[in-house]
Chains A and B, each alone.
Chain A
Amino acid sequence: MILKKLNSINFDNFPVAIFGSGPAGIATALELEKKNIKCLVIEAGGENYSEASQEFYKGKVIGDPIPNLSTNRLRQFGGTSGHWGGWSSLLENYTFDLWPIKSDELKPYIKKTCEILDINNQFRKSSLNEFIAQIEFQYSKVKFAEKYNNHIKNSKSILLVLNTQLSYFVGGKGNTEYAVCVYDNVIKKIRAKYFILACGGIENSRLLLWTREKNQDFIDNNLPIGKYWMNHPWIIGGAGVIDKKKLKKKLGNNFLEYEGPLHFAAKKELIKKKKILSAGIYMSAKEDMKLYKEIVKDILCVAPEYGRKIAAKLFKKSLKCGNVFMNLEEDPNPNNKIILDEEKDKFGIPRVKLYYKKSRHSLKAAKLVLEEFANLCRNEDLGRIAIKDSIYNLEEFDSMAANHHIGGTRMGVNKSDSVVNIDLNVHNINNLYVSGSSNFVTSGYRNPTFTIVNFAIRLAEKINERLQI
């Protein structure tokens, strides 16, 4: 059932209350429904996009620029899946090296994740050499509100309440008693056995920080809530040309034929050898003709012999020519953090203040990964790649987007550097869970949504196990 506002229904007979109806919240609700477990889903936004709702997401950024916090995430049914790009893949196995959980533990949930995201369960990888691989993403077109609207409307297990803002949790002695929610001027206490905070990579930290401020003895003061915040800088690392025909010839049957951008990534061996963060490389599926011609002209100037060969293949389908984009990993840094601002929103909840500084380590990885790729292309005559001189000289990179909000409630064993345990349970609070990319220990370079959904399904299993006891 979907309610557009809080009404007199008794909300207290739900064993599980989920806050947030984005991919993390909905995936857990759907999995709980399969197990006949009723759950209440509270969404702060409405059924559709509204500027008034987005206004609640405004915040300050101190340090390096991050695109507007009220536009790069959506406060509505379905959350940010309402405008995501759909790139889906589990994080690289080696990304989990510093996590307290290994990728094998998430494998049982991959099939279900693919079903939710309507994608093929196929994430191939093909080595180009010891250090670089061609990789495959799947592209999901699922917007959670569109796909699951009718399903939830007809569900007897899931009750979704829209336009209701979670303010904070109240509890003590390691137990959450209720959640304080606001609708217009109505304040409602919501009780459940288990509470799941799934409001996104910034809101999760904000609401936990506000909870800690509202009841001092409830959440351990030493938990690093809001710290180790990360994103994926999305940059233009360079430009170049790749002959897809030659790439196919080199890889033979191992060439990954798929629609969409041409993806490559650093292998674990390169990351280990150069002691760098990971990075992904891709070239757009659609050519920008103006840029295409410009790059061919540039190649003719810097490499006339090679340029002539390229010019002979001009505009042939096999010739990929354009910007070389990169998705970079950021290292977890406690100084990149979310804190509560003095300014409050309409419901009296402090807005966020995000301290953020781009990492020099990401810049170094951008240079060394792209350099390895450029040398591979040159040596094997797969194409020619140029690196932006600001990256080559290790001066700076311009991030075009920072839409993946990671960290802030990171997972771990020690309370000194983590907020939740491997079951996503907040340390020392028996019945409060956090779900989403805010739990990620490291960011990797891959898009987070697949892993978010993966963990959300696993969380439903963990809650089910506890309810059976």
Chain B
Amino acid sequence: MKIFRRNFIKIFFLSFPVLFLMKFDLLSFRSKKTKLKKYKNFVWYLNNND
């Protein structure tokens, strides 16, 4: 039981930075970059993948 608990805590803390990076990645995915495109008499506010 002790070994299981130790391993669990080890895995949890080892994977913590990975989880953090995943979350960070998720956030960066959400804040899309603006792409401005002039067309006719307007400037369109678009996303990169639009």
Show the binding face of A for B, using Cβ within 8 Å: 238-239, 298-299, 301-306, 371, 374-375, 377-379, 384-390, 392
Measured between beta carbons, the chain A residues less than 8 angstroms from B47 are 303, 306, 378-379
Q: A300 → chain B, closest Cβ, in Å?
A: 11
Instruction: Knowing A306-B50, A384-B50 are in contact, say whether A377-B45 is a contact too (CB < 8 A).
Output: yes
A367, closest chain B residue (CB): B43
Which chain A residue lies CB-closest to B49? Answer: A305
- Enumerate chain B residues within 8 angstroms of A302, measured Cβ to Cβ: 37, 39, 44, 46, 50
CB <8 Å contact, A375 and B34:
yes
Contact: B42 with A388, CB < 8 Å?
yes
Which applies to chain A's interface (DSSP): helix, strand, loop or mixed? helix
Contact A390 B32 (CB under 8 A): no
Least Cβ–Cβ distance between A85 and chain B, in angstroms: 26
Majority DSSP secondary structure for residues of B touching A = strand
Whole-angstrom CA separation of A371 from B38 in the bound complex: 14
Residue numbers of B with Cβ under 8 A of A are 30-32, 34, 37-47, 49-50
**A387 CA to B41 CA, complexed, in Å:** 9
Give the docked Cα–Cα distance between A374 and B47 (Å). Answer: 11
Residues of B within 8 A of A392 (CB): 43
> Which 6 A-B residue pairings sit nearest by Cβ, starting from the closest?
A303-B50, A374-B45, A386-B42, A306-B50, A386-B44, A392-B43
Contacts of B39 in A (CB 8 A): 298, 301-302, 386
Chain A nearest CB, measured from B17 CB (Å): 27
A304-B50, A306-B46, A379-B30 known; 14 new pairs, CB 8 Å cut-off, are A238-B42, A299-B44, A302-B44, A302-B46, A303-B46, A375-B34, A379-B47, A384-B44, A384-B50, A385-B45, A386-B42, A386-B44, A388-B43, A389-B41
Chain B residues contacting A305 (CB-CB under 8 Å) are 49-50
A303 CA to B39 CA in the complex, in Å? 11
A313 to B42 Cα, complex, angstroms: 23
Partner of B46, one of A378, A387, A390: A378
Interchain nearest-CB distance for B45 vs A (Å): 4
Contact of B40 among A298, A371, A375, A378 (CB under 8 A): A298
Q: Is the Cβ of A390 less than 8 Å from the Cβ of B45?
A: no
Residues of the B chain whose Cβ atoms lie less than 8 Å from the Cβ of A239: 42
Q: Which residues of B contact A238 (CB under 8 A)?
A: 42
Q: How far apart are the CA atoms of A306 and B49 in the complex, in Å?
A: 8
Q: Contacts A375-B34, A378-B34, A379-B31 hold; do A388 and B41 have CB atoms under 8 A apart? A: yes
Interface centre among B31, B34, B45 (most CB of A within 10 A): B45
Q: How far is the CB of A383 from chain B (nearest CB, A)?
A: 10
What are 21 A-B contacts with C-beta separation under 8 Å?
A: A298-B39, A298-B44, A302-B39, A302-B46, A303-B44, A303-B46, A305-B49, A305-B50, A371-B45, A378-B34, A379-B31, A379-B32, A384-B46, A384-B50, A385-B44, A386-B42, A386-B44, A387-B42, A388-B42, A388-B43, A389-B41
